[in-house]
Structure 1
Amino acid sequence: MANSPSGDSMTQRIVRVLETFTTERTVQTASEIGRRAGLPSSTAHRLVDDLVREGLLERDDEHSVRLGMRLWELALRGSRALRLRQAALPSMERIQARVREHTQLAVLEHDAALFVERLSHPDAGANITRIAGRLPLHASSSGLVLLAYAEPDVQERVLAAPLAAVAPETVTDAASLRRVLGGIRRSGFVVSPGSVESVSTGVAVPVRDETGDVVAALSVVLPRETPTEVAITELLRAARDIRSALSRR
């Protein structure tokens, strides 16, 4: 790909355009995309026009832009996340019928917990996660599980970086976080009260594939004072069932 005067390749510029969209910011103008992507206006408009023609972006009657259906279609073809989600959904639905709160599935992606599925009861408590949303690995029960079983270089990179507090009880001390991760590997689950929101407790377990590798974290988010025993039992059972389902696919 040809480079721009700043040294960015065309691929990098396209990625920057697409990354301006978030779970909260789903519609933008081409000018807003350019500003957020750090691109000259003419470059941004040209890239947006090209991506609209290819179906990766869509433009509405008011000339605002959103992610296109073709991007979604391409992302799902042979997707590891889709295979995992399909294997996990029956178990997640069973958990949801028992806990009647939030049940979530997350994977490790670029040193963050990326949520690929979430089921919620209409009367469930607080929860800031969204499908296709991310949380820092140290700041959620799912992220802590993913970090506990991540490769050593990932763990060291995360532990060496500044650990921002998402909530007052988020673990931000590297030595304390190491102890938490060791506890997760010994017990096979984590109970994390107040790490994302003070009113909630996250409970999570690792999900393994047919080879035994940890490929995801399965979690529930409960009101702070809710007992966690039922959730732990259901999550551990579900993780075993998901592993079996993956081995059959």
Structure 2
Amino acid sequence: MVGRTFQVLGSFTVERPALSLSEIARRADMPLSTVHRMLNELSSWGAVERGEDGLYRVGLRLWELGALAPRGQGLRERALPFLEDLSQITKENVQLAVREGTEVVFIERIAGSGAVSVLTRVGGRFALTATGVGLVLLAHAPAEVQDEVLSGPIERYTRKTVTDPGELRRMLADVRTNGFVISDRQVTLDSLSVAAPIDDGRGQVIAAVSLVVHHAGTKPHALAPLVRTSARAISRALIAPIR
């Protein structure tokens, strides 16, 4: 029953956040009557909501539940003041992300005034190999995770996306040596990101922070100290006692 519930909830996507009963049944590959009964139960609990248009959407109860995830909410709350400072200083996009398996999950994003458009969103997932935060997290991931990512298909987003495993391994080594990474036009041709690792005070990298800026006219190496300073400040905040 739990597995079928996940199938129903998994029918909703960023591209299709509102679905009809028949669409959900088709996407979940389940009988219409079964999905109808499950949706009624999920609606009663608040996991899904049905609008006046008859379409179903993810309910606020799931958002409330998701906010309890310690790697998301706790980290976000400790990091937010430093993310806001970085955004105010640079007027650029600031992102906070963690690794979930072989993907990046973004848990906060602050859009700067006049900043370049980005493809990421809070709660969204992305490949580890293209974004600045992804490369940082991959560089500090266990060897088996790196091997799995680099031995599988590596998605290309632009002509600048690095897809060669050997070159990616060299980039990951540089991340560990330099303490930051510059992902230049790998996701969109008008942007680059500068990212740095956040650790838990015991040397374990648990998250990454980045600036995403316009490619034209930007000197990314000049931004690296700002990003690294923010990352270190967040790392210290994570081990400080809560007052």
Under TM normalisation by the shorter chain, which class is it?
A: over 0.9
Deviations 1:131-186 (A, max 9, x none): 11111010111111110001111111111111110221111111111111111111
Residue 231 of structure 1: which of 213, 219, 223 is its match? 223
Letter in 1 for 2:238: L
Q: Closer, same or farther in 2 for the Cα pair 1:36/1:110, shift >3 Å?
A: farther
* 1:78, distance to aligned residue in structure 2 (A): 5.1
Residue 65 of structure 1: which of 32, 46, 56 is its match? 56
Is the counterpart of residue 216 in structure 1 residue 227 in structure 2? no
Of 81-90 and 50-59, the range deviating more from structure 2? 50-59
Q: TM-score with structure 2 length normalisation?
A: 0.94
Residue 137 of structure 2: which of 143, 146, 151 is its match? 146
CA contact (8 A) 2:98 2:208 kept: yes
CA distance in structure 2 between the partners assigned to 1:63 and 1:238 by the alignment? 46
* 1:217, distance to aligned residue in structure 2 (A): 1.0
Give the SS at the match of 1:139. Answer: coil
* 1:207, distance to aligned residue in structure 2 (A): 0.7
CA contact (8 A) 1:55 1:69 kept: yes
CA distance in structure 1 between the partners assigned to 2:222 and 2:68 by the alignment? 36
CA contact (8 A) 2:130 2:183 kept: no
Moved over 3 A (4+): none
Write out aligned runs for 1:12-23 (5 A).
Answer: 12-23=3-14
Q: TM-score with structure 1 length normalisation?
A: 0.92
CA contact (8 A) 2:184 2:193 kept: yes
CA distance in structure 1 between the partners assigned to 2:53 and 2:123 by the alignment? 26
Show the counterpart of 1:193.
Answer: 184
Give the SS at the match of 1:71. Answer: helix
CA contact (8 A) 2:101 2:145 kept: no
CA distance in structure 2 between the partners assigned to 1:165 and 1:40 by the alignment? 37
* 1:212, distance to aligned residue in structure 2 (A): 2.2
Letter in 1 for 2:207: A
Give the SS at the match of 2:54. Answer: coil
CA contact (8 A) 2:200 2:238 kept: yes
Is the counterpart of residue 160 in structure 1 residue 151 in structure 2? yes
CA distance in structure 2 between the partners assigned to 1:47 and 1:205 by the alignment? 43
CA-atom RMSD in angstroms: 1.4
Letter in 2 for 1:88: A
Aligned length, in residue pairs: 240
Write out aligned runs for 1:1-249 (5 A).
Answer: 10-77=1-68, 79-225=70-216, 226-248=218-240, 249=242
Where in structure 2 are there 5+ consecutive unaligned residues? none
Letter in 1 for 2:208: A
Of 47-56 and 110-119, the range deviating more from structure 2? 47-56
CA contact (8 A) 2:160 2:185 kept: yes
Show the counterpart of 1:4.
Answer: none
CA contact (8 A) 1:23 1:130 kept: no
Letter in 1 for 2:114: D
Of 116-125 and 27-36, the range deviating more from structure 2? 27-36
Letter in 1 for 2:22: S
Give the SS at the match of 1:138. Answer: coil
CA distance in structure 1 between the partners assigned to 2:69 and 2:150 by the alignment? 33
Give the SS at the match of 1:34. Answer: helix
Give the SS at the match of 1:95. Answer: helix
Where in structure 1 are there 5+ consecutive unaligned residues? 1-9
